[in-house]
């Protein structure tokens, strides 16, 4: 199996999307060769390996910087029929569903698009190759709404920038999709209980105390 979309390799979130697609391919193969099968080798186009990929596929040799994304399947496995006798695998379900971090993958992909503004649910569903209804159902199974997920992604990215950079607070708001700094501040206070400025000062004080 291979995957690649010429001309968009450098698009935000592309490497995460490709890792997700390869995971789906592996899921399909597992319906034929067993739920614990892991490819001996996997290639991705990104120059870096997405976080969490080695843990999902232990023992797999993951090569970065490849011309296309791919998984290597031994010829000896190609003749096998789908295993419908495994009671833990429904005919219409993916074997990997309980192991793959759906929410984490979606969050990582959305994070890359925040500077473009608020990513709609329709846009997010397209990233995961799902309908909006299916996306809502997937998030609901994790006790999340789409709005809550966006808030979480925005907050985590902005909090990280407040802790680790000297970027102006207004610019940080723009980086997480807010045109109005006041709207950004309200979101941050609602989640953290502190304004962005107060949060930055508090984390800087903690860092200074730890350095003493």
What would the pLDDT profile of 123-179 be if each residue is shown by its tens digit?
998 888 789 999 999 999 988 999 999 999 999 999 999 999 999 999 999 999 999
Own/partner long-range contacts of 131-138 (Cβ < 8 Å, ≥24 apart): 138/102
Q: Answer whether residue 101 shows pLDDT above 80.
A: no
Residue 62 near residue 69, CB atoms below 8 Å: no
Q: What is the average per-residue pLDDT within 92-98?
A: 41
Close Cβ partners of 23 (under 8 Å, ≥ 6 residues apart): 56, 96, 100
Short-list 197, 205, 204, 206, CA closest to 169:
197
Tell me which long-range contacts 138-146 makes (C-beta under 8 A, separation of at least 24).
138/102, 139/103, 142/102, 142/103, 144/103, 146/121
Top mean pLDDT of 6-15, 41-50, 90-99 is at 41-50
- Measure the CA–CA gap between 194 and 212, rounded to whole angstroms: 25
Q: What is the mean pLDDT of the chain?
A: 80
Quick one: pLDDT at residue 162? 94
* Interval 16-62: pLDDT, tens: 777 777 877 787 787 777 778 888 898 888 887 777 778 778 888 88
Is the model more confident about 97 or about 102? 102
- Weakest mean pLDDT among 35-39, 94-98, 109-113: 94-98
Contact (CB, 8 A) for 138 and 130? yes
Domain borders along the chain are 2-146, 148-211
- Nearest in space to 200 (alpha carbons), one of 155, 154, 157, 160: 160
Q: What percent of the chain has pLDDT over 70?
A: 80
Residue 91's pLDDT is 42
Phi, psi of 81 (to 5 degrees): -95, 160
Better-scored residue on pLDDT, 7 or 147: 147
As a CATH number, domain 148-211 is: 1.10.10.60
- The pLDDT of residue 95: 38
Q: pLDDT confidence of 82, banded at 50, 70, 90?
A: low
Q: How confident is the model at residue 12 (pLDDT cuts 50, 70, 90)?
A: low
Rounded (10°) angle between helices 181-192 and 146-164: 100
What separation, in Å, do the N-terminal and C-terminal C-alpha atoms of the chain show?
54
């Amino acid at each position: 199996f291979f995957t690649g979309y010429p001309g968009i390799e450098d698009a935000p979130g592309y490497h995460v999307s490709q890792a997700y697609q390869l995971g789906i391919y592996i899921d399909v193969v597992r319906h034929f060769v067993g739920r614990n099968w892991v490819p001996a080798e996997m290639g991705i186009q990104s120059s870096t390996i997405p976080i969490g990929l080695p843990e999902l596929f232990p023992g797999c040799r993951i090569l970065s910087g490849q011309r296309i994304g791919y998984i290597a399947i031994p010829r000896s496995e190609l003749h096998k029929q789908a295993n419908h006798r495994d009671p833990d695998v429904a005919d219409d379900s993916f074997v990997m569903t309980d192991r793959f971090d759906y929410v984490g993958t979606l969050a990582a992909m959305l994070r890359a698009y925040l500077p473009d503004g608020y990513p709609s649910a329709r846009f997010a569903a397209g990233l995961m190759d799902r309908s909006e209804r299916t996306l809502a159902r997937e998030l609901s199974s994790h006790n999340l709404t789409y709005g809550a997920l966006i808030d979480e992604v925005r907050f985590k990215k902005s909090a990280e920038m407040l802790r680790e950079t000297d970027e102006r607070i207004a610019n940080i708001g723009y980086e997480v999709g807010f045109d109005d700094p006041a709207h950004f501040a309200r979101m941050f206070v609602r989640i953290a209980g502190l304004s962005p400025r107060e949060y930055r000062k508090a984390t800087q004080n903690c860092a200074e105390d730890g350095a003493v």
